[in-house]
Amino acid sequence: MSYYGKDKMKIIATLMICFVFVCGCNSQNKESKMTELYDTLNCPIISYEEYLGSPHEIKCYYDFYEGLKCSEISKKPYLVYFTGHGSVQARQMEVEVLSDKEIKKYIESEFVLATLYVDDISIKLEKDKQIVSEINGDTIKTYGLRQAYIEKQKFNDQKFPVFYIVDLNEQILAGPIYFDLDKNFFLDFLKEGKMNYNKQNDK
């Protein structure tokens, strides 16, 4: 093989090594993003993410019980956010409060978050997700009605946007917090919930 032929082979080999390295890094990054919420892979897989997405750019659950289970596994307080697609006030809070760097970082590091859309009518629930209303005996078959029912039954509330922080027994640690654009007020609410959770668990 000529000198130039050997040189060409070295270049090809180098490019192949770089390709494998880049692919490996991308794979690790994707895997890291998939698991960054969980702490461990024992947390439930996030349902409805492909339909709803996170308007506040914080990784979250969209099912109350999945988020509660992850809260138990990760040993973090549970931040429950009842919202609606058509709520202008909810969008304002997401843009001006939840997207604040300090608040966002604090939620991501210290809480498990669930975002529950009470006005959604597009998602039909699978059989195992449907529940029978204790109020009228009807079977609740849509995602939005299920979230509204949970809000009413567990928190005796029907308003949104609204935030609660609860423990593993679904006892309220802080809240409710309704529409308010005061960032310091919201941060104090988060710290109150975290403090009360730590007291319960002697942290």
Q: pLDDT truncated to tens, each residue of the chain (203 aa)? A: 544 455 545 544 444 444 434 444 444 444 444 444 445 468 899 999 989 977 788 889 999 999 999 999 999 999 999 999 999 999 999 999 999 999 999 999 999 999 999 999 999 999 989 999 998 899 999 999 999 999 999 999 999 999 999 999 999 999 999 999 999 999 999 999 999 999 998 76
Do residues 7 and 76 both lie within one domain?
no
Please state the domain count of the chain.
2
Do residues 111 and 72 both lie within one domain?
yes
Do residues 24 and 52 both lie within one domain?
no
Contact 173, 159 (CB under 8 A): no
> What CATH number does residue 74 fall under?
3.40.30.10
Do residues 95 and 24 both lie within one domain?
no
d(CA 117, CA 71): 19
Residue 189 in tokens: 């609410």
Do residues 120 and 107 both lie within one domain?
yes
Q: What range defines the domain where residue 66 resides? A: 39-200
Do residues 13 and 43 both lie within one domain?
no
Do residues 98 and 17 both lie within one domain?
no
Query: Which phi and psi angles does 30 have, rounded to 5°?
Result: -65, -45
Contact 143, 117 (CB under 8 A): yes
Do residues 86 and 154 both lie within one domain?
yes
* Residue of 116, 41, 126 whose CA lies nearest to 81: 116
Do residues 27 and 93 both lie within one domain?
no
Sequence-ordered list of residues with C-beta below 8 angstroms from that of 75, at least 6 positions apart, any chain: 201
Q: What is the pTM of this model?
A: 0.79
d(CA 1, CA 57): 56
Do residues 68 and 1 both lie within one domain?
no
Do residues 93 and 185 both lie within one domain?
yes
* Residue of 49, 192, 36 whose CA lies nearest to 109: 36
Do residues 171 and 123 both lie within one domain?
yes
d(CA 113, CA 165): 9
pLDDT of residue 53: 78
